[in-house]
Amino acid sequence: MSKSARDRASAKRIVEQQKAAARRRRVTIWTSAAVVAVLAIAGLIGWGVLAGQQHDNAGKLTTPSVAVDEGTAFAVGTGPVVVDLYEDFLCPICHEFETQTGPAIKQLISANKVTVRYHPVSILDDKSNGTKYSTRSAGAAAAAAIDGKFTEYHDVLYANQPAENSDGLSDAKLIELGKSVGLGDTFATAVQEDTYDAWAAKATDTFAARGFTGTPTIVVAGKTVEGPNQTLPTTELFTQAVTQAAG
Amino acid sequence: MGVTTDVSRRTDVWPWVSTVARLGLAAVFGIAGGLKVTDLAASGRAVYAYRLMPYDTAKVVGAVQPFLEIALALLLLIGLAVRFSAGIAAVVLMIFIAGIVSAWARGLQIDCGCFSKGGDLTGGRTARYGLEILRDVGFLLLAGILLVKPRTRFSIDGLLTRWI
């Protein structure tokens, strides 16, 4: 090969390399743009789905007539100290609290020392194999409250609490338990038609907006009561808080 | 065999290492997003538990985040703009790590919500922030591999450079 032929060949090679580099750059630019577009669309979908769900819930929202505290709770008792209990019917520690401190609470109510505002919330919907037991049970409790049987139904739900990561109690079972405490057909219809399920979502939203994240959350006269290291308070701690609040 | 073969073989290993990193990272984001996407309200509550933004903002972030994670997982899975996608993944992971560190520093007792809907820990469960950070750093390492060596097998990037 002559010198000029070699030069031509190497010049051609350089041009080829430059073309290849330009090609790679073009691919990088366009694929990156595609990535940005895909992520933007995904984000918009997320936003849209959320807005859709909120709109859906707002449309279906039926606030139980007897609910107090911005329509999120059911009051039991008429005592001067207000106790707010935020509970999920699927939450095992709520069950533990009910077993441990429930009797003391009942005494305080009948001695006219406290007004207990029960806030059923549904934060464990992902722990009942997709049947949303937390929401269904909270909605059923609302229906029971309307017929004046909140406490009875609340107690029977805890006595029959299903395990986490099971299907939870079926609607039929929820109705059957209602019948066992004297609830009738209007209650059964409300459970079957999920009348108060959107309300349960709203009550949970209010719970979260108030800065609470776990259940049970126990608030006595506006102050959260808990044991050391954010554990369940003992009955003694709880009654102490009530006595203090009563002054 | 000569020295040249050894060198070329060594350089050939990287695309395979990167492919494993790419698919691993895709799985991480896919699972993380998939677990959250079924309950957006819970995802929003988990974001709010970090106490870094107002509730209404946290709700939107919590709803958008799982969709972004799934989209990023799909992009990594098909291998589109691998270096760029890995860069985004790295930024996202650093934000997560910063969030966990700040929760730790403030003494919050929360479940990081990385692979669940998170929330407060109650009833004596303790937060394991150290492990959570370590895990995220591991994922960050996968993203790092892809940032340095973005050439992978079975990727759209590879197909495009050959076609165009």
Q: What confidence tens digit (pLDDT) does each residue in A135-181 have?
A: 999 999 999 999 999 999 999 999 999 999 999 999 999 999 999 99
Is the Cβ–Cβ distance between B137 and B96 less than 8 Å?
no
pLDDT at A21 over 70: yes
- pLDDT for position B123: 45
Q: Residues 214 to 243 of A: which have CB under 8 A from any B CB?
A: 214-216, 229-232
**Residue range A95-124, pLDDT digits in tens:** 999 999 999 999 999 999 999 999 999 999
**Residue range B6-37, pLDDT digits in tens:** 555 556 899 999 999 999 999 999 999 999 99
C-alpha closest to that of B146 among B94, B88, B95, B97: B88
How far does Cα A154 stand from its chain's mean position?
A: 18
Give the count of beta carbons closer than 10 Å to the beta carbon of residue A23. 15
Instruction: Determine the distance in angstroms separating the CA of B154 from the nearest CA of chain A, rounded to an integer.
Output: 16
pLDDT at A224 over 60: yes
- pLDDT for position A167: 96
- pLDDT for position B118: 58
What is the CA angle A172-A176-A182, rounded to 5?
Answer: 145
The answer to whether the bond into A216 is cis (omega within 30° of 0) is: yes
pLDDT at B1 over 50: no
Side-chain half-sphere of B11: how many Cα atoms within 13 Å?
5
Mean pLDDT value of segment B49-76: 96
- pLDDT for position A230: 74
Q: Residues 50 to 89 of A: which have CB under 8 A from any B CB?
A: 50, 53
Mean pLDDT value of segment A34-48: 98
Token look-up 């997320």 returns A46
- pLDDT for position B57: 96
- pLDDT for position B164: 66
Q: Which of B39, B68, B88 sits opposite A125 (nearest CB)?
A: B39
Cut 0.90: pTM above it: no
Instruction: Determine the distance in angstroms separating the CA of A183 from the nearest CA of chain B, rounded to an integer.
Output: 31
pLDDT band for position B97 (cuts 50, 70, 90): very high
- pLDDT for position B3: 46
- ipTM, two decimals, is 0.87
